[in-house]
Structure 1
Amino acid sequence: MTDIILDPWLDAEYDNRAKVPGHPAIIAGWARDAAAFLDAHPHADLGLRYGAGPRQAMDVFWPGAARGGPLALFIHGGYWAALDRSSFSHLARGLLAHGVAVAMPSYDLCPGVSLEELVDEVRDAAAFAAARAGRPVHATGHSAGGHLTAMLLATDWRARGLAADAVSGGCAVSGLFDLEPLIATKVNLPLGLDAPRAAALSPALMPKPRGRLRAVVGELEGAEYLRQSAVITAAWRGTFGVLPGADHFTAPAPLADPDSALVAAILADMRAA
């Protein structure tokens, strides 16, 4: 890849860890809460392989002993270069309480794979989950997972031998949909994006998909993150929302709360789809 020429303003806008000094405690809390949830939830299929890559596996959490009902997919973030599903199991709690199963995949990370390969892995994960459940899935994701959620909606599933609505809709929390600004930030170090690749991987530049996207962002996340969600919902005629008082690391917390407005909105979107 060519050397990155940093834009100081953009680099600061996308440096979530610098913007939230308390992020280490929040991330540690994710891991703690996820482990406790995993220990307490008996109805789960763990480590299901959906591909040959070292991280291509998922956990599926079911509302009860019967393996049935609607299915959501949660895709973790980490700027496509960090984290895995093990820190997010507890985020299944909100939908599970309403009878919705939740599949959580990990995926191989950049720079070990290209971002194009990573997107294809998540497509494979969604196809695997939909086939296993025998029904379409509703995608959700945080941060880079929000980008991947939108990429799933933009996928031509018929070309992959599946129903056109294999992914019936999506909710992106603090997502990234216009990747061109990332080229001049440290986020690009493991990605190696140039302008043509960034454009090809930007959902905001893709045609409006069949499924509907809800994009929500924390009130405290800054101008670029607010712009990202506003741009995609304008382009795709989706639903834009702001999470009061939330920063980048607290924005996904409502997914763990069965009574949260975000969980209620996702359930309404699933019913509408």
Structure 2
Amino acid sequence: MTDLDDAYANMAYAPGGPHYPALWAETAAAFRGAALAAGMAQLDLPYGPGERQRLDLFEPQGRRRGLVICFHGGYWMHLDGKGWSHLARGPLAEGWAVALPSYAQCPEQRISGITRQMVQAVEVLHRRLGGPIRICGQVGGGHLAARMLCPGVLAPETRAAIEKVVAISPLADLAPLMRTSMNAALQLDAQEAVAESPIHCPPPEVPVHVWVGARERPVFLEQARGLAAAWHCPLTIEPERHHFNVIEGLEGPSPLLEALLG
């Protein structure tokens, strides 16, 4: 393991880290079941031709205020949208629909290809539900959320529907990842690392809020500070939150949910 491998490792440095994926899967499955029984869920909707180009859509009861699109984490290599179903609970309670897309992962797909898949998902959702749209995501999902605001990524009419983006523990500068063992799967080269790094995009006009846990690995604090500085946007370093529980605020009333929906 290289020094950078250790710097970007999270499981061993967060209390209970290895248990979170299974806990998320169990909690998410229970939430999906309850939402489906209540007629509030449409599962595995296709947004493209690929096997993993599917999304789950949760609709609030009553009038819809808008749409939240949430991109999952996992370094573009692991997890899927279904592992985050329960994070729809907070926006749903506030009257927002929530979409959780999955995507083909590295090494089957390059990061630039994953970005294009998320563009497809956002475009399909905009045609289906309209706006306004709020977008969030964590780690690789935070990268994808920010990428949606880079020039020329989305169609102009779709970008115009986006009111806000919250990038949680985002990977905004991909160059360091080329020096980790993850790059055997990510297949980043210097050109793609620059092109896919939000930190190299001009500050968007759409409001952005960068969010990170105070107890995360130092590189994630550096990445968050770097994007906030480059885009001249607010940065919240949430006390006592680590890499895995930093997203829990999306489940109910919290400063994080207020940052996304407020």
Aligned counterpart for 2:66 among listed residues 66, 70, 89 = 70
Aligned pair count? 259
Q: Paired residue for 1:112?
A: 108
TM superposition score normalised by structure 1: 0.90
Closer/same/farther in 2, CA of residues 155 and 108 from structure 1, 3 Å limit = farther
* Counterpart Cα distance in 1 of 2:49 and 2:260: 31
Q: CA deviation at 1:168?
A: 2.8
Matches within 5 A, 1:1-273: 8-20=2-14, 22-41=16-35, 42=38, 43-64=40-61, 68-156=64-152, 160=155, 162-257=157-252, 259-268=253-262
The letter of the residue matching 2:134 is H
Q: CA deviation at 1:171?
A: 0.6
* Counterpart Cα distance in 2 of 1:249 and 1:214: 19
* Counterpart Cα distance in 2 of 1:95 and 1:21: 27
The answer on whether the counterparts of 1:107 and 1:122 sit within 8 Å (CA) in structure 2 is: yes
* Counterpart Cα distance in 2 of 1:44 and 1:244: 33
Q: CA deviation at 1:138?
A: 1.1
The answer on whether the counterparts of 1:85 and 1:106 sit within 8 Å (CA) in structure 2 is: yes
Q: In structure 2, list runs of 5 or more residues that go unmatched.
A: none
The letter of the residue matching 1:61 is F
Q: CA deviation at 1:106?
A: 0.5
The answer on whether the counterparts of 1:126 and 1:137 sit within 8 Å (CA) in structure 2 is: no
* Counterpart Cα distance in 2 of 1:125 and 1:84: 14
Q: Deviations over 1:139-166 (max 9, x none)?
A: 11011100000001114266x3634424
The letter of the residue matching 2:87 is L
Q: CA deviation at 1:69?
A: 2.7
Moved over 6 A (4+): none
* Counterpart Cα distance in 1 of 2:201 and 2:97: 29
Q: Secondary structure at the match of 1:186?
A: coil
Closer/same/farther in 2, CA of residues 29 and 54 from structure 1, 3 Å limit = same
Q: CA deviation at 1:189?
A: 2.0
* Counterpart Cα distance in 1 of 2:164 and 2:156: 19
Closer/same/farther in 2, CA of residues 161 and 231 from structure 1, 3 Å limit = closer
Q: Paired residue for 1:271?
A: none
Q: Deviations over 1:106-150 (max 9, x none)?
A: 011011011111110001111111111122421110111000000
* Counterpart Cα distance in 2 of 1:20 and 1:163: 37
Residue identity (%): 38
